[in-house]
């Protein structure tokens, strides 16, 4: 029966996967299980009756012996960490957990202990600690403001960037709330409300929330802008916490403001242009139009956006001479002349805009109404032709005037010689009248050639009528009798 009990105890001990051993009061091994023998790498017969001095260096054995004596003196349960080589000679981190056992008389007869191999746990702890240190360094060197708050708004973690922002140190921030920094004058009340607006909501809902633009004024008065992201996070001692990452977008905000101001100035400059200016996407849809384009189309800017440009010009299809496809193909500005259905003539210039990869982004199209300009060009050309005719006429008039002067001069001489011949003199007077009319005609031609203004004045119309009738008399047959009754006074 005793043998069966002993066998049962041995089987029970060997079934325990944790290394287990027994020692007497002198520190000699009385027994151990298979797991212990496997860890030590020594057969049973070489361990029974041996002490720690037979297994490990003397300095280490002294420590084990002192611990055993401490346990025998105090009783109870003892636990401590140590390092022990296994069967392969690898140094392992272990925990010894030991307790005394008594004999039948109640005296301490020895100790029983187990050996827990915590090498993997230690390695994991080291890796976790190293990971935490790396993460801490990343957080501290990050230009973003990083913080962790508990459900009461107290800081559990803060990096250097956030501490610098509020004029504090990251160590001094731990345990404080934003209201504490308000009391110290480090944060303004409205900003605290904006910064903490989503804190409770993140913790209560477990959702990640972000704010695109949050203003913040530093203690030195510098106004900055941040994009914040807040997410729930859990720690063993603080299961309901929140992680905040705030990215300083002040430079981006300033750049966007400058860009908006530049766009506003450019838009204003384009709006005061009398020409039609539109931005088109690659499909010829309007992205933007200036006021002149809106006025010409009779639509508001919102009504133009998204429509194709030829629809605005009331074409059912694309304009045959549209310069946009040519400009895109040539990758340079192209100008064409287009006539709209209302007979207006437009000079249209299309300039393509490409991105850094050479892909078409949009085109800038400018349409100028040149209808009046072309009409003025026509008038100018006609004026130039008339001026040339006037120059030619002036030359002819001067030559004709010279000839006419000779005719009138000799006619005057002839009239003096024919003073006794009334019929001849009457004819010579007609010649003189005709010469004077010719001289007036030459004067008119010269006045036309000089392009000078003419002066209006009264003329004796009866004399002009008489001259015209005399001219008509020469052209009508003699069978036609012309009778005249003209007053000899009055001017028009």
Residue 233 sits in a domain whose CATH number is 3.30.450.20
Per-residue pLDDT in tens (0 to 9) along the chain, 492 residues: 555 666 776 788 888 889 999 999 999 998 888 899 888 888 878 888 999 898 888 998 999 999 999 999 998 899 999 988 888 888 899 999 999 999 888 889 999 999 999 998 988 888 888 888 888 888 888 889 999 999 988 999 999 998 888 888 889 999 998 888 776 765 665 555 666 667 888 988 899 998 888 888 877 778 888 898 999 999 888 899 999 999 999 888 888 888 888 888 888 888 888 888 888 898 888 888 888 888 887 788 888 888 888 777 656 667 777 888 888 888 899 998 887 777 788 888 999 999 888 889 899 988 888 888 888 887 888 877 777 777 777 778 777 778 878 787 878 878 777 777 777 877 877 787 887 777 777 776 776 666 555 567 777 777 777 767 766 766 777 778 777 777 766 666
- Residues 204 and 106 both lie in one domain: no
Does residue 460 lie within any of the structural domains? no
Residue-level pLDDT at 13: 82
Does residue 38 lie within any of the structural domains? yes
- Residues 151 and 243 both lie in one domain: yes
Does residue 150 lie within any of the structural domains? yes
Residue-level pLDDT at 329: 87
- Residues 156 and 85 both lie in one domain: no
Does residue 187 lie within any of the structural domains? yes
Residue-level pLDDT at 454: 58
- Residues 41 and 96 both lie in one domain: yes
Q: Which of 193, 217, 250 is the last residue of a domain?
A: 250
- Residues 145 and 246 both lie in one domain: yes
Residue-level pLDDT at 80: 92
- Residues 101 and 40 both lie in one domain: yes
Three-state secondary structure along the chain?
CHHHHHHHHHHHHHHCCCCEEEEECCCCEEEECHHHHHHHCCCHHHCCCCCHHHCCCHHHHHHHHHHHHHHHHHCCEEEEEEEEECCCCCEEEEEEEEEEEECCCCCEEEEEEEEEECHHHHHHHHHHHHHHHHHHHHHHHCCCEEEEEECCCCEEEECHHHHHHCCCCHHHHCCCCHHHHHHCCCCCHHHHHHHCCCHHHHHHHCCCEEEEEEEEECCCCCEEEEEEEEEEECCCCCCCEEEEEEEECHHHHHHHHHHHHHHHHHHHHHHCCCCEEEEECCCCEEEEECHHHHHHHCCCHHHHCCCEHHHHCCCCCCCCCCHHHHHHHHCCCEEEEEECCCCCEEEEEEEEEECCCCCEEEEEEEEEECHHHHHHHHHHHHHHHHHHHHHHHHHHHHHHHHHHHHHHHHHHHHHHHCCCCHHHHHHHHHHHHHHHHHHHHHHHHHHHHHCCCCCCCCCCHHHHHHHHHHHHHHHCCCCCCCCCCCCCCCCC
- Residues 291 and 197 both lie in one domain: no
Q: Which of 83, 117, 151 is the last residue of a domain?
A: 117
Q: Which of 369, 397, 429 is the last residue of a domain?
A: 369
- Residues 223 and 164 both lie in one domain: yes
Please give the tally of structural domains in the chain.
4
- Locate tokens 């401490």: which residue? 70
Domain assignment of residue 418, given as a range: 386-455
Does residue 467 lie within any of the structural domains? no
Residue-level pLDDT at 368: 85
Residue-level pLDDT at 257: 87
- Residues 22 and 105 both lie in one domain: yes
Does residue 287 lie within any of the structural domains? yes
Residue-level pLDDT at 245: 92
Residue-level pLDDT at 19: 92
Does residue 260 lie within any of the structural domains? no
- Residues 360 and 404 both lie in one domain: no
Does residue 10 lie within any of the structural domains? no
Residue-level pLDDT at 458: 76
CA distance 226 to 212: 7
The model's pTM is 0.51
- Residues 59 and 103 both lie in one domain: yes
Residue-level pLDDT at 148: 92
Residue-level pLDDT at 96: 94
């Amino acid at each position: 029966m005793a043998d069966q009990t002993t066998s049962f105890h041995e089987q029970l001990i060997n079934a325990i996967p944790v290394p287990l051993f027994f020692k007497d009061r002198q520190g000699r091994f009385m027994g151990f299980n298979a797991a212990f023998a496997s860890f030590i790498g020594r057969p049973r017969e070489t361990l029974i009756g041996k002490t720690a001095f037979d297994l490990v260096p003397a300095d280490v054995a002294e420590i084990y012996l002192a611990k055993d004596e401490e346990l025998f003196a105090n009783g109870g349960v003892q636990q401590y960490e140590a390092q022990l080589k296994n069967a392969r000679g690898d140094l392992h981190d272990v925990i010894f957990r030991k307790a005394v056992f008594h004999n039948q008389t109640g005296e301490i007869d020895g100790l029983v202990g187990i050996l827990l191999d915590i090498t993997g746990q230690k390695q994991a702890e080291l890796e976790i600690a190293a990971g935490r240190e790396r993460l801490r360094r990343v957080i501290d060197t990050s230009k973003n403001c990083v913080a962790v708050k508990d459900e009461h708004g107290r800081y559990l973690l803060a990096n250097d960037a956030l501490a610098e922002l509020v004029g504090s140190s990251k160590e001094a921030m731990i345990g404080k709330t934003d209201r504490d920094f308000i009391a110290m004058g480090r944060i303004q009340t409205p900003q605290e409300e904006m910064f903490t607006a989503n804190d409770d909501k993140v913790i209560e809902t477990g959702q990640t929330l972000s704010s695109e633009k949050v203003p913040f004024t530093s203690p030195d008065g510098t106004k900055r802008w941040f994009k914040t992201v807040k997410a729930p996070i859990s720690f063993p001692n603080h299961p309901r916490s929140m992680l905040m990452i705030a990215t300083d977008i002040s430079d981006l905000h300033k750049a966007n403001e400058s860009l908006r101001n530049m766009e506003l100035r450019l838009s204003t400059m384009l709006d005061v242009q009398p020409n039609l200016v539109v931005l088109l996407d690659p499909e010829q849809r309007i992205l933007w139009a200036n006021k002149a384009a809106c006025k010409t189309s009779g639509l508001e800017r919102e009504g133009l956006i998204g429509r194709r440009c030829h629809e605005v010009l009331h074409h059912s299809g694309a304009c045959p001479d549209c310069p946009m496809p040519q400009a895109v193909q040539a990758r340079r500005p192209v100008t064409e002349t287009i006539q709209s259905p209302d007979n207006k003539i437009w000079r249209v210039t299309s300039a393509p805009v490409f991105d850094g990869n050479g892909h078409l982004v949009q085109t800038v199209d400018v349409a100028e109404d040149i209808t009046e300009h072309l009409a003025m060009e026509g008038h100018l050309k006609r004026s130039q032709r008339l001026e040339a005719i006037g120059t030619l006429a002036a030359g002819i008039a001067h030559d004709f005037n010279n000839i006419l002067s000779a005719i009138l001069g000799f006619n005057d001489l002839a009239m003096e010689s024919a003073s006794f011949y009334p019929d001849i003199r009457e004819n010579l007077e007609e010649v003189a009248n005709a010469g004077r009319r010719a001289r007036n005609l030459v004067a008119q031609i010269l006045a036309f050639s000089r392009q000078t203004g003419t002066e209006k004045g009264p003329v004796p119309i009866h004399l002009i009528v008489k001259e015209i009738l005399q001219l008509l008399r020469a052209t009508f047959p003699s069978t036609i009798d012309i009778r005249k009754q003209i007053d000899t006074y009055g001017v028009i």
